[in-house]
Amino acid sequence: MASFSTLSDVDIDKQVAALSRQLHDLKKVLARRGDAYYEDGREAASDYYSQLAERVHDALPAIRRRGRAIERTARDHPAAAAAVGLVVVGLLAGLLISRR
């Protein structure tokens, strides 16, 4: 690189212009890569969502059967259902208080 005493204003202007072009080119490259990464991430999220939706759809009949069985048990034994509900609320309250 030339010393400061030999650099003219024209040389500096040329260098600044060249650096500006390089910066512009780098911005374009980064934008393309960002778009590609965004698209890849979007596709991956869509695939995961599709897989999850399929699994939930397949498991839904079993979940409904178990829910009905729990509902019948709660109707047959309301005191036990209330006790279990209170225990769950107590556990949640304990967890929330212990985090503070």
Note the pLDDT of residue 6.
63
**Are the CB atoms for 11 and 2 separated by under 8 Å?**
yes
**Rounded distance between C-alpha atoms, residue 61 and residue 67, angstroms:** 10
**Rounded distance between C-alpha atoms, residue 43 and residue 36, angstroms:** 11
> Is the full-model pTM beyond 0.85?
no
Note the pLDDT of residue 44.
92
**Are the CB atoms for 84 and 77 separated by under 8 Å?**
no
Q: Cβ contacts of residue 80 below 8 Å, gap of 6+? A: 73, 74
**Helix 9-76 vs helix 78-99: angle between axes, to the nearest 10 degrees?**
150
Note the pLDDT of residue 3.
54
Note the pLDDT of residue 39.
87
For residue 5, the SS3 value is coil
Closest CA to 28 of 39, 18, 36, 17: 36
Note the pLDDT of residue 52.
93
Q: What is the pLDDT along the chain (100 residues), one digit of tens a residue?
A: 555 556 677 788 888 999 999 999 999 888 888 888 888 889 999 999 999 999 999 999 999 999 999 999 999 999 999 999 999 999 999 999 988 6
**Are the CB atoms for 73 and 81 separated by under 8 Å?**
yes
